[in-house]
Amino acid sequence: MKTKEIKNAVGRMIPIEINGEKIVPFQGVGKYQPKGKKHATDISSNSDFPLDGNKQVKSLKDALIKAGLKDGMTISTHHHFRNGDLIANQIFDIAKELGVKNLRWFPSASFPCHEHLIQYLEDGTINRIEGSMNGPLGKFCSEGKMQGVAVLRSHGGRYQSVQDGEVKIDIAVIGAASADSFGNANAIYGTSTSGLLGFALADSQYADKVIVVTDNMVAFPCIPWQIQGNYVDYTVEMDKVGIPEKIVSGTTKITKSPDRLLLAEMTAQFCEDTGLIKDGFSFQTGAGGTSLSVSQYFREIMKKKGIKARFARGGSNKYLVEMLEEGLIDYILDGQTFDLEGVRSMRDNPNHVWTSPFTSYNYHSKGNFAGSVDVVILGATEVDTHFNANVVTHSDGYLLHGIGGWQNCLFSKTVILPLPLFRDRIPIITDELTTICGPGELIDVIVTERGIAINPLRKDLIEKAKKSNLPIKTIQELRDEALKICGEYKKPKLSDKVIAAIKWVDGTVIDVVRQVVD
């Protein structure tokens, strides 16, 4: 029997229950008032831990057994190793070997390297993934093959869900480039460096049992202790926790695509013309090809104007690091490093600060710093004429991306999406989104190669843009242009079956994704 569905505040039909639990429908930005207390873990006692601080056990299997791995548990991992992760697959190999079933995997994100786990989704070792699915797992899920319903959360939403006790983690496994036997860990030293471990912070603080795994066990103290051993139950040393070249790139390359460069240039020009780039401002440009180029244009503008930024929000890369080192930026507040220069800078420069989803993005706190960022440049797969946007599904209905920090960044002061007007002859600006991930009231500007649309709510920006030579249009005009060029396109065929829920930053459900039918 189909679960009853109701309409939420952005007009999407969503089931009242997902994975057997009642959900709260999205109620509008800032409308849902959380009640209750944060999740409280059991009080531990030092008397139950080795007095000399050495918590090392002989293997990951040993640690998982000691941590009480059993049917139905929630196992969390982080994605700082990205596509070079060697830990998650091993965890579920062990679970399979031990005959454990029905696990919930709660990664901060999954990658193509985790395709290995499809067999465990098929045989019931894993019931479902709650976390973004990039690539093969997304396809598997989109086709309705996962037993449970996927739940996708933003980076901030993931912290929120753990903090609020919405997701209770039984066992967190934290892979680290360096650790000591007490469990202090960082991602700065060693061979499997990824810069920081912020995505694992909530897991360390709130999981029942915490396991730190490293291939570089150092004498106490492992400094900096990005993860504090005081939260850790067991430590494990293994040969190799990640494949370095798949964790961070050796180098970052800026796009050479003329289309993307044009979008980047128009975006930067818009920011200059409307006075968004000013002394002491702050920005986040992200790590995609277009975004990277935007920051290069920002750099030129800042040099020309003789101004500097108070801070840049990373994902960092060598270009951002260069700006820090040139004195164009006072601080990088970094969430993840995308190349080795980012790692080096974070290691050596105290103004290159490691942050976490708690400091940057958690909506259920006394504020986070996303709101302090002046200009943020983000991507999207689709935008509708109300400026609502999609980042998780493609126009063919497939769920192939995670939310990342995207929803959280929407709270920044000005949100700009540089997007091609169409991709593969499918318009990006449309009347109806495949999936709504972010409400249009938080999205200010859409930059396309054929014109720039400003959200009517931003009267200030519309006024300022009048002095600009850039082609300012309405979003309806852009939609019409795209439609004229591409012609009508075939909507994907979807079944009623819900295969994934998209959470908003406050834990409410903003949309669901339905099964793709061939």
Binding residues vs its own copies (CB under 8 A): 30-47, 49-53, 55, 163-164, 182-183, 210, 219-221, 223-225, 228-233, 280, 310-311, 331, 333, 350-351, 353, 358-359, 362-369, 371-372, 411, 413, 506
Q: Give least dist CB 47 to its own copies, A.
A: 4
Both tokens of 357, joined, read 């989803």
Q: Considering the complex, what minimum distance in angstroms separates the CB of residue 85 from its own copies?
A: 25
Nearer to its own copies, 86 or 207 (CB): 207
Closer to its own copies by Cβ: residue 333 or 500: 333
Q: Are strands 426-427 and 422-423 parallel, antiparallel or unpaired?
A: antiparallel
Work out how close the CB of 118 gets to its own copies at its nearest, in angstroms, rounded to a whole number: 35
| Residue 52: CB minimum distance to its own copies, A | 6
- At a CB cut-off of 8 Å and minimum separation 6, what does 377 contact? 267, 283, 284, 285, 286, 290, 291, 294, 416, 417, 418
Burial of 159 (0-12, 13-18, 19+ CB in 10 A): buried
CB of 224 to its own copies, least distance (A): 7
For 485-518, b/e burial (b = at least 16 CB within 10 A) is: ebeeeeebebeeebbbbbbbbbbbbbbbbbbbee
Nearer to its own copies, 106 or 311 (CB): 311
The gap between the terminal CA atoms of the chain, to the nearest Å, is: 23
**Shortest separation between residue 463's beta carbon and its own copies, angstroms:** 20
Using CB atoms within 10 A of its CB, is residue 44 exposed (0-12), middle (13-18) or buried (19+)?
exposed
Cα(213)–Cα(190) distance, integer angstroms: 13
Nearer to its own copies, 25 or 379 (CB): 25
Residue closer to its own copies by CB (options 4, 366) is: 366
DSSP 8-state class, residue 3: P
Indicate the helix (H) or strand (E) that contains 503.
Answer: strand 494-503
The region that residue 274 occupies, defined by phi over 0 for left and psi between -120 and 50 for alpha, beta otherwise, is alpha
Smallest gap from Cβ 42 to its own copies, in A, equals 6
Q: Is the CB of 270 or the CB of 311 nearer to its own copies?
A: 311
Does an H or E element contain 140, and which? helix 136-142
Give 2 or 366: the residue with its C-beta nearer to its own copies: 366
Closest CB to its own copies among residues 152, 211: 211
Instruction: Compute the half-sphere exposure of residue 427: CA atoms within 13 Å on the CB side of its CA.
Output: 26
Q: How far is the CB of 40 from its own copies (least distance, A)?
A: 4
Closest approach of Cβ 221 to its own copies, in Å?
Answer: 6
Nearer to its own copies, 183 or 405 (CB): 183
Please check whether residue 413 is in contact with residue 271, taking contact to mean a CB–CB distance below 8 angstroms. Answer: no
In 346-492, DSSP assigns E strands to 352-354, 375-377, 382-384, 389-390, 414-418, 422-423, 426-427, 429-430, 445-448, 451-454, 472-473
